[in-house]
C-alpha cells in the first residue's frame, strides 16, 4: 500500500459502515454477509480501498466502546482481506486499529488525526502502514461547538501541519502520511465550500490529500427544495461526483465516496480527457503558485 500512497492517483476509497447509525447507510450492512457482499461490490465498481468503520462519526453521534467497535469491523476485514479486497480501517482507537491491521487491513484512516488516542502513532509506526490524518477538533457530540476559525483554510492547514509534525516526531515515515481536511468535522457549510475552493493551499503541506464530501449535509442544503427541505441523502450522488472530480482536478490524491461506480466513471472521463487541472501542478503533484504559473 505504500505504492498506493505514492501513486499519482486518483485513488477511490469506498465507504463501508458497519454501524446502525451512520448518517447515510447506517444499519444497511450490519449483517456480516451484507457487509462483505457490499465490500466486494465496491471493489468491483472500482474502489482502490474499502474503508470499514464500526463507529458513527456523524455530528451528534454517541460513541461506542472499543470492544463493540472491534466486534463490528474485524469479521468483515478478515473476510474481505481473504477475498483479496484492500481494506482500510476507519477508527480513532489504537486498540481497534492494531486488531484491524492484524486482521488484514492495510491502511489506518483516523478521523482524529492521532489526537483521540496518543498510542495510534506507535501502532502505525510499528505496522509501517499508511495513516490518513484528518483535521479534527473533537468528538461528534461537541464538534458543532468547535467550528470557529479566523481563516478556515489557513487554520486547517496549520493544524494539519501540527498533526503531521507529531506523527513524524513519533517515528512515522513521511511516505506513509496522507492528510484530509475533514469536511463537516467542526466545519459549517461555508467552511466546507471555502476549503473546497482553496484546496490547492492545503497541498502545500507536501502530502497526498484525501477529500471526503460524499453525501454530506452541506450538499443536501445546497440542493434544497423550494421550501428549504434539504435534498435526501440518497439523492446527493451527482453533487458528490462533482465535488470528487473538482477535488481531483485541484490536486487531491484521492476521494472517499459511498457510490464508487459513479465516481470511478467520472474520474475515468477526467483521465481520458488528459487529466485537466484547475490549478497547475508540478510533476510531483505539488501546486504551482499563481505568480509562478504566470512566469
Q: How far is CA 85 from the centre of its chain?
A: 18
Query: In whole angstroms, what is the distance from residue 100 CA to residue 70 CA?
Result: 8
Widest CA span in the chain: 57
Query: In whole angstroms, what is the distance from residue 35 CA to residue 20 CA?
Result: 12
Query: In whole angstroms, what is the distance from residue 121 CA to residue 118 CA?
Result: 7
Give the position of cell 484512516.
109
Q: For residue 170, is it left (φ>0), alpha (ψ between -120 and 50) or beta?
A: alpha
Query: In whole angstroms, what is the distance from residue 295 CA to residue 288 CA?
Result: 11
Whether the upstream peptide bond of residue 10 has omega within 30° of 0, thus cis, is yes
With residue 39 as reference, give the H or E element that holds it. Answer: helix 32-44
Burial of 64 (0-12, 13-18, 19+ CB in 10 A): middle
Residues with Cβ within 8 Å of residue 265, at least 6 apart in sequence: 46
> Which one is catalytic: 215, 216, 231, 236?
216
Burial 22-39 (b: 16+ CB within 10 A, else e): bbbbbebbeeeeebbebb
Check if 256 is active-site: yes
Q: For residue 207, is it left (φ>0), alpha (ψ between -120 and 50) or beta?
A: beta
Burial 152-186 (b: 16+ CB within 10 A, else e): bbeebbebbbebbebbeeeebeeebbbbbbbbbbb
Question: Would you name the residues annotated as active-site residues?
Answer: 216, 256
Amino acid at each position: 500500500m505504500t505504492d498506493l500512497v505514492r501513486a499519482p492517483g486518483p485513488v477511490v476509497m469506498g465507504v463501508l459502515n458497519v454501524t446502525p447509525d451512520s448518517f447515510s447507510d447506517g444499519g444497511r450492512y450490519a449483517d456480516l454477509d451484507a457487509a462483505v457482499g457490499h465490500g466486494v461490490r465496491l471493489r468491483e465498481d472500482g474502489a482502490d480501498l474499502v474503508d470499514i468503520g464500526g463507529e458513527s462519526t456523524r455530528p451528534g453521534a454517541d460513541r461506542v466502546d472499543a470492544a463493540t467497535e472491534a466486534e463490528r469491523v474485524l469479521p468483515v476485514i478478515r473476510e474481505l482481506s481473504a477475498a483479496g479486497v484492500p481494506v482500510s480501517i476507519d477508527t480513532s482507537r489504537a486498540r481497534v486499529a492494531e486488531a484491524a491491521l492484524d486482521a488484514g487491513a492495510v491502511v489506518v484512516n483516523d478521523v482524529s488525526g492521532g489526537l483521540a488516542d496518543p498510542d495510534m502513532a506507535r501502532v502505525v509506526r510499528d505496522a509501517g502502514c499508511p495513516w490518513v490524518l484528518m483535521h479534527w477538533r473533537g468528538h461528534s457530540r461537541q464538534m458543532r461547538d468547535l467550528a470557529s476559525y479566523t481563516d478556515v483554510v489557513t487554520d486547517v492547514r496549520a493544524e494539519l501541519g501540527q498533526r503531521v509534525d507529531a506523527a513524524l516526531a513519533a517515528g512515522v515515515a513521511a511516505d506513509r502520511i496522507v492528510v484530509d481536511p475533514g469536511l463537516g468535522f467542526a466545519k459549517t457549510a461555508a467552511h466546507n465550500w471555502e476549503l473546497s475552493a482553496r484546496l490547492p493551499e492545503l497541498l502545500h503541506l507536501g502530502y497526498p490529500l484525501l477529500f471526503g464530501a460524499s453525501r454530506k449535509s452541506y450538499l443536501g442544503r445546497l440542493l434544497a427544495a423550494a421550501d428549504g427541505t434539504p435534498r435526501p441523502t440518497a439523492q446527493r450522488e451527482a453533487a458528490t461526483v462533482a465535488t470528487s472530480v473538482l477535488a481531483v482536478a485541484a490536486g487531491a490524491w484521492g476521494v472517499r465516496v459511498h457510490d464508487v461506480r459513479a465516481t470511478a466513471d467520472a474520474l475515468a472521463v477526467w483521465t481520458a480527457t488528459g487529466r485537466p487541472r484547475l490549478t497547475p501542478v508540478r510533476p510531483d503533484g505539488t501546486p504551482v503558485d499563481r505568480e509562478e504559473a504566470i512566469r
